[in-house]
Amino acid sequence: MSHAFVKEDDEQWLHEIAPTMTALINYLTRQNNGVRVYEIKKSFSKDGKELHHMSNGLQYYIDEKGQWNFI
């Protein structure tokens, strides 16, 4: 069997996706059973992190390691 195919039960973690909005939206949409998740607004935290307020009710940011995280 080719390794090009991904098994259905192989999950990807938030910190493993690329630090781009497209990658975040695609990841969150997959996690939401295909229902599109989109950015509602951007803001900045007190410590200067750019926060992305998403339609799933959570806020996401890129941490010091260059990985997605959420509040």
Instruction: Kindly tell me if the per-residue pLDDT of 63 is higher than 60.
Output: yes
Instruction: Kindly tell me if the per-residue pLDDT of 6 is higher than 80.
Output: no
pLDDT of 18-30, one tens digit each?
Answer: 999 999 999 999 9
What is the token pair recorded at 14? 């938030």
Could you give the CA distance from residue 38 to residue 24 in angstroms, rounded to a whole number? 9
What is the token pair recorded at 22? 């497209």
What pTM was computed for the model?
0.84
What is the pLDDT, as a whole number, of residue 11?
83
Each domain of the chain, given as residue ranges in start order, spans 38-71
| Closest to 56 (Cα-Cα) out of 20, 24, 9 | 24
What is the pLDDT, as a whole number, of residue 8?
55
